[in-house]
Structure 1
Amino acid sequence: MKSLPFLILFLAAIAAGDNSSYVPRDYILLDCGSSGQNKDQDGRTWNGDTGSKYAPSWLNSVSSQAPNQDSSVPQCPYLTARVFTSPFTYTFPLGAGRKYVRLYFYPSNYSNHEGADAFFSVTAGPITLLQNFSAYQTAAALNMDYLIREFSVNVSSAGLNLTFTPSKNYSNSYAFINGIEIVSMPDMFSTGNPLLVSGGTPIPYPIPDDWAMETVYRLNVGGQAISPSGDSGLYRSWADDSLYIYGAAFGVTYGADPNVTIQYPTTLPEYIAPVDVYSTARSMGPDPTVNRNYNLTWILSVDNGFYYLVRFHFCEIQYPITKVNQRVFDIYLNNQTAQEEADVIAWSGGIGVPVYEDYVVLTSGSGTTDLWVALHPDLKTKPEYFDAILNGMEVFKLQDGKNNLAGPNPDLPPQPDFEPDKIFNKKSNFNSTPVIVGGVVGGAAAIIGLGFLLLFLCKRKKKKGKDAAGTSDGPSGWLPLSLYENSHSAASAKTNTTGSYASSLPSNLCRHFSFAEIEAATNKFDEALLLGVGGFGKVYRGEFDDGTEVAIKRGNPMSEQGVHEFQTEIEMLSKLRHRHLVSLIGYCEENREMILVYDYMAHGTLREHLYKTQKPPLPWKQRLEICIGAARGLHYLHTGAKHTIIHRDVKTTNILLDDKWVAKVSDFGLSKTGPTLDNTHVSTVVKGSFGYLDPEYFRRQQLTEKSDVYSFGVVLFEVICARPALNQNLPKEQVSLAEWALHCQKKGILDQIIDPYLKGKIAPQCFKKFAETAEKCVSDHGIDRPATGDVLWNLEFALQLQVSAEEVGDLMADGIISDVDGGPVMMDGKKDVDDPSMESRTTTVTSTSTMSMGDRSIISEDSEGLTPSAVFSQIMNPKGR
């Protein structure tokens, strides 16, 4: 029997070396501030640190409990905390090798300490993990309830000392920790051969064995989030990647073919990534023509000044991709070539066989930046399929030369102009009402799935001295792995978020409807009342008991757009009132729903009346009036509100028409306050809709009002040509309406591509003025585009030219006047379009009109005098818009 312990150890060693599993030598779950044992939502047992061998003395610490814990926050390990007013060290006797160190924070008031006073640093031996870290500020800025930071450190045989030190830079500062997790991990980094991507030919960049890392992103590409319990042995969280996808070009997702079994090669241990990661994928789609013309792109916010290791996981899981040179693609990091002629089959050796590739990229400067990851078919090798594929992606921050991994805290938004205490019921006591709303259910996908829940109703402000070019809409300090720790799907995360979000909505700004009222108005969401489906969810026609007709937009819990857009829409439209902006009546957030109630727009969207419709075509004069109305709405946003507001998603589906055909700009989910007087632009992540996106904004990530002007120029061409902004079925040069129409305009043949219904019905000078206006709007550089006030003036002038020409035509038809000048009345081929006599005649007629076009403050008569909140932001991902 004496040999039994040896046999057990031997079998355990075999299991640990088995390719199918990993058994960590060290596995510690420390529930700080508590005693005894507690289980978390994954069923894992945490041990309290009271009296623990890991802390030799408690003289400089106290155990405390959060006085008021949000219902979305798991009790273990967040219910209690260990609080330190001077440096304190946990000592963990560990075996040598790499360890995951996960730190759990729930910012709250603990004992007699205010949550906002917690500024501290955390070191792991010689490595600085966090510096002057504020869990309160980070959670408030990112609208998280709780935070998880994951690090990978190499531990010597002496074990690991984890030290928490209150910052000396802040009065009343203290440190706290709710939970500490330490898990042994295999060395998954020094054995590879990553390539450094620096603009030239990538060169090898080996990772030293003793370097520490921080996990920034861990994405299950094309699949759902994977909780720690689904990643046996290492307890990692994998997030759904969909909300990091740039724009609407999100490709297609799919699972493994039923006849394909994931088979790890002998050179690739299964712990590199779980089977679930390799069993799903995202590719560009089946259309080679479309794939040639776009990149499959992810945008990831990271701290500047660090090297990042980017690991791509690949596995071909669908027939017929079984041979070399069937699917070959290029990989780009920050617009630099990382890999040409990537061929998963060539790398792995066959279908169903996983493989991964590592690359290193450097970011420079301070603050934050966006890491762009893009895939594009490689055309040089002439593969069978013009496509690309990705199954998983991880991004790790590498320590700098000073043994540092710490980045800055994200900026707190400034206080809004209008009574935030009244809106949020926010007291001086941090926990009297939970300040951080939104049920975060664990790990980094919360950044993905939840977007940014607005905590304060005001725009983010850059830190003094911060380089404007380095800012973005994302957090200035990314929040790794605050994701689906306790959720098994992205859907559940979004559902939980919706449910816990309700408490923050400002009922004093617009009407709050009960869910029962909404159900009654829509006959329990009868599909017969369905008006349409958008990125946020379905839109129903409804009628309340008093006979009021409304449009009811019901958020889809599976939508990529969610809580943030919900909040932004309410705050925006509750504070803005204008004849040419859609009116928000109220909202409902009961039963984990996100429902918005608007005035009913009887004639739907502008696009519904232009193409792919059974509705009769709109007369030209009516189209002009609609464009003028939309321009008035935009002009008000840019100049008439308290702060400049940039819509960022101007398109024909976001211009609605009421029962009197009055145009109203709608959908403010991407809206953002414009630059201050001291700045010319706002540096931000690119958001918007393909086909309408300002190319200068796309290139430079610098947003101005001229970005809206470009989008509106596309709308003008869409109105006169009656075709989509993008049409992939057309020849390549005609796919983009903006590019094709601009080409035709410069060639003088724009009249050949206009809506056939309009031919012969547009006065030549009106056509000329309208076309010139649209042309200037879509100029490549913003400085060459007109302001919205000028666009509005030109459109009204074009309308007057049309009206005057029609009046002259009527007089001629009635024989009251003769065509003494021989000039044209309509563009019907009978007259000379460039007849100089026409402009003088129409100008004379226009001068007698009662309309004043010289007054640029046109919108003032439509405003009800309300000023907007200073806060607008955008969702993490614009997909589906």
Structure 2
Amino acid sequence: MRGGPRCALLLLVAAAALVPAARAQGATAPAPSAGAPFVPRDDILLDCGATGKGNDTDGRQWDGDAGSKYAPPNLASASAGAQDPSVPQVPYLTARVSAAPFTYSFPLGPGRKFLRLHFYPANYSNRDAADAFFSVSVPAAKVTLLSNFSAYQTTTALNFAYIVREFSVNVTGQNLDLTFTPEKGHPNAYAFINGIEVVSSPDLFGIATPQFVTGDGNSQPYEMDPAAALQTMYRLNVGGQAISPSKDSGGARSWDDDTPYIYGAGAGVSYQNDPNVTIIYPDNVPGYVAPSDVYATARSMGPDKGVNMAYNLTWILQVDAGYQYLVRLHFCEIQSPFTKPNQRVFNIYLNNQTAIEGADVIQWADPNGIGTPVYKDYVVSTVGSGILDFWVALHPDAETKPQYYDAILNGMEVFKLQLTNGSLVGLNPVPSADPPAHSGSGDKKSKVAPIVGGVIGGLAVLALGYCCFICKRRRKAAKASGMSDGHSGWLPLSLDQGRNQKL
């Protein structure tokens, strides 16, 4: 019975912490200042194998590629032998299918573009879905986006109906050529594509210099190659609900709920901006970096110092080993108690390495303070082969003796950087009867592994789990804002998308 008063105190403190969020959900908050939205010069949504026009579930209009200037001539159009009722008809009702290489050619102005490839693996024209193995490349840039790619194996492993792969490529000439090549090593191999998006991208990667994570907290500037291609692995609205492309502020991006990626019971507390807090972009953060809805919600560790000091707020993301990754973290203090430096100070660990110690969002936002968006870019190297669990972890920094021992995050993006040979190729995930267990193993020189180990073996995890369970129940009971803890469809690897529920 000695634990009774302690648990009761935890529940009272947690409930008190939820009052501002519940009040904000029930009130009419002032409209956030969103910064100037980005208007793309090139905005192509191509429904492969279709004729005429059609709208997707987000209300965006797609053009059929039949007779278009983009599609290769004499390329077969096919419909799925059986259409899953959960799969939207646009752009997944039809496909272009071929056992020989084919190329789409897009006349474009120079600059960086988002390239999104949509795949619904099905039996097309008596071809077995499992036989589709192919590569996708951008010959002019000497970049290989996919190789030995199997949409069927990927959707089977991830339990998705369909998937989307998103890339950022730099166009230097007047055309973007996209070549699909069936793999010669597979009998009956063929290539297919259901939909292609080509959307001009704002200057997302040249407006700030990332820091290269060395592991000792003394990160060094990293010069990004302006011509390099990137693959979007994750784009998460931390603490908030999914954001559809039509609600994005630049490039028709989708933002996913972060809850499927949180490690263990330590989910912390999610909330939105106080009614009197308006999101106002500073001059050095363009509105297209992330929509205001990303900065208007957040996840923190919670109100209890003792609990927070005993664990890390952690997300685990599966990535392809052997690549470097650009990790963009979005921050914004949105609750009125946090208005001064050294109130909430924390450390950031990426892939079990120290990225920065003493992160203070209010200090970063100086002189504007609360309601001011901030983002930080880090580049992290990975080694080995296969699929890697990439940890993103936050922990209070006790050395500064802050007023609150807590951490906060509003959004997260992870991009794979191409290798020097132009490869962005990853492995097809292997279907498994049981999901892989996260071992939590990491660099013993990092502060992450010892802390996680302590949580697993200590009583703090029991108190935390109970507290978070109650918090979750309370959040579900007060969902006036529409915030969701459910799965919205974007899971590893590489922004694979199965919109049975919804991006």
TM-score by length of 2: 0.80
State how far apart, in whole Å, the 1-side matches of 2:245 and 2:438 are: 30
Question: Counterpart in 2 of 1:345?
Answer: 362
Q: Spell out the pairing of 1:357-396 with structure 2 (5 A cutoff).
A: 357-396=376-415
Q: Structure 1 stretch 332-341 or stretch 232-241: which is displaced more? A: 232-241
Asked if structure 1 preserves the Cα contact closer than 8 Å seen for 2:307 and 2:460, the reply is no
Asked if structure 1 preserves the Cα contact closer than 8 Å seen for 2:92 and 2:194, the reply is yes
Asked if structure 2 preserves the Cα contact closer than 8 Å seen for 1:151 and 1:213, the reply is yes
* Cα drift, residue 56 of structure 1: 4.4
Residue deviations 1:626-685 (CA, integer Å, cap 9, x gap)? xxxxxxxxxxxxxxxxxxxxxxxxxxxxxxxxxxxxxxxxxxxxxxxxxxxxxxxxxx31
State how far apart, in whole Å, the 2-side matches of 1:269 and 1:309 are: 19
Does the residue aligned with 1:249 lie in a helix, a strand or coil? Answer: coil
Output the amino acid matched with 2:91.
P
Asked if structure 2 preserves the Cα contact closer than 8 Å seen for 1:192 and 1:206, the reply is no
Residue deviations 1:490-540 (CA, integer Å, cap 9, x gap)? xxxxxxxxxxxxxxxxxxxxxxxxxxxxxxxxxxxxxxxxxxxxxxxxxxx
State how far apart, in whole Å, the 2-side matches of 1:99 and 1:724 are: 47
Residue deviations 1:457-503 (CA, integer Å, cap 9, x gap)? x45xxxxxxxxxxxxx45xxxxxxxxxxxxxxxxxxxxxxxxxxxxx
2:283 matches 1:266: yes
1:202 to 219, 225, 244: 219
Q: What is the aligned-residue identity percentage? A: 61
Question: Counterpart in 2 of 1:120?
Answer: 134
* Cα drift, residue 268 of structure 1: 1.1
Q: Spell out the pairing of 1:580-599 with structure 2 (5 A cutoff).
A: none
1:236–1:727: structure 2 CA closer, same or farther, 3 Å change rule?
closer
* Cα drift, residue 207 of structure 1: 1.1
1:248–1:45: structure 2 CA closer, same or farther, 3 Å change rule?
same
Does the residue aligned with 1:380 lie in a helix, a strand or coil? Answer: helix
Question: Counterpart in 2 of 1:75?
Answer: 89
State how far apart, in whole Å, the 1-side matches of 2:378 and 2:165 are: 23
State how far apart, in whole Å, the 1-side matches of 2:334 and 2:430 are: 43
2:304 matches 1:290: no
* Cα drift, residue 229 of structure 1: 1.6
Output the amino acid matched with 2:438.
V
Question: Counterpart in 1 of 2:245?
Answer: 228
State how far apart, in whole Å, the 1-side matches of 2:136 and 2:462 are: 51
2:166 matches 1:150: yes
1:263–1:171: structure 2 CA closer, same or farther, 3 Å change rule?
same
2:57 matches 1:41: yes
State how far apart, in whole Å, the 1-side matches of 2:126 and 2:384 are: 39
2:188 matches 1:169: no
Question: Counterpart in 2 of 1:186?
Answer: 202
2:305 matches 1:305: no
Question: Counterpart in 2 of 1:252?
Answer: 269
* Cα drift, residue 727 of structure 1: 5.0
Alignment length (residue pairs): 418
Does the residue aligned with 1:140 lie in a helix, a strand or coil? Answer: helix
Question: Counterpart in 2 of 1:685?
Answer: 438
1:363–1:106: structure 2 CA closer, same or farther, 3 Å change rule?
same
* Cα drift, residue 19 of structure 1: 4.0
1:130 to 143, 146, 154: 146
1:26 to 42, 49, 56: 42
State how far apart, in whole Å, the 2-side matches of 1:71 and 1:152 are: 31
Asked if structure 1 preserves the Cα contact closer than 8 Å seen for 2:277 and 2:371, the reply is yes
Asked if structure 2 preserves the Cα contact closer than 8 Å seen for 1:326 and 1:384, the reply is yes
Asked if structure 1 preserves the Cα contact closer than 8 Å seen for 2:249 and 2:287, the reply is no
Does the residue aligned with 2:82 lie in a helix, a strand or coil? Answer: coil
Output the amino acid matched with 2:109.
G
2:113 matches 1:94: no
TM-score by length of 1: 0.46
State how far apart, in whole Å, the 2-side matches of 1:724 and 1:685 are: 20
2:337 matches 1:323: no
Which has the larger strand fraction? 2
Question: Counterpart in 1 of 2:295?
Answer: 278
1:67–1:208: structure 2 CA closer, same or farther, 3 Å change rule?
same
* Cα drift, residue 68 of structure 1: 1.1
Q: Spell out the pairing of 1:440-455 with structure 2 (5 A cutoff).
A: none
State how far apart, in whole Å, the 2-side matches of 1:346 and 1:361 are: 24
Does the residue aligned with 2:260 lie in a helix, a strand or coil? Answer: helix
Aligned-residue Cα RMSD (Å) equals 2.2
1:69–1:56: structure 2 CA closer, same or farther, 3 Å change rule?
closer
* Cα drift, residue 232 of structure 1: 4.2
Asked if structure 2 preserves the Cα contact closer than 8 Å seen for 1:190 and 1:208, the reply is no
Does the residue aligned with 2:246 lie in a helix, a strand or coil? Answer: helix
State how far apart, in whole Å, the 1-side matches of 2:359 and 2:49 are: 50
Listed as ranges, the gaps of 5+ residues in structure 2 are: 1-33, 441-448, 465-490, 493-503
State how far apart, in whole Å, the 2-side matches of 1:265 and 1:288 are: 32
Asked if structure 2 preserves the Cα contact closer than 8 Å seen for 1:190 and 1:206, the reply is no
State how far apart, in whole Å, the 2-side matches of 1:337 and 1:219 are: 21
State how far apart, in whole Å, the 1-side matches of 2:200 and 2:83 are: 31
Question: Counterpart in 2 of 1:543?
Answer: none
Residue deviations 1:584-621 (CA, integer Å, cap 9, x gap)? xxxxxxxxxxxxxxxxxxxxxxxxxxxxxxxxxxxxxx
* Cα drift, residue 412 of structure 1: 3.5
Output the amino acid matched with 1:398.
L
State how far apart, in whole Å, the 2-side matches of 1:289 and 1:148 are: 42
Question: Counterpart in 2 of 1:65?
Answer: 79
State how far apart, in whole Å, the 2-side matches of 1:725 and 1:328 are: 22
Does the residue aligned with 1:141 lie in a helix, a strand or coil? Answer: helix
* Cα drift, residue 191 of structure 1: 2.5
* Cα drift, residue 215 of structure 1: 0.5
Question: Counterpart in 2 of 1:539?
Answer: none
Output the amino acid matched with 1:359.
Y
Give 1 or 2 for the bigger CA radius of gyration: 1
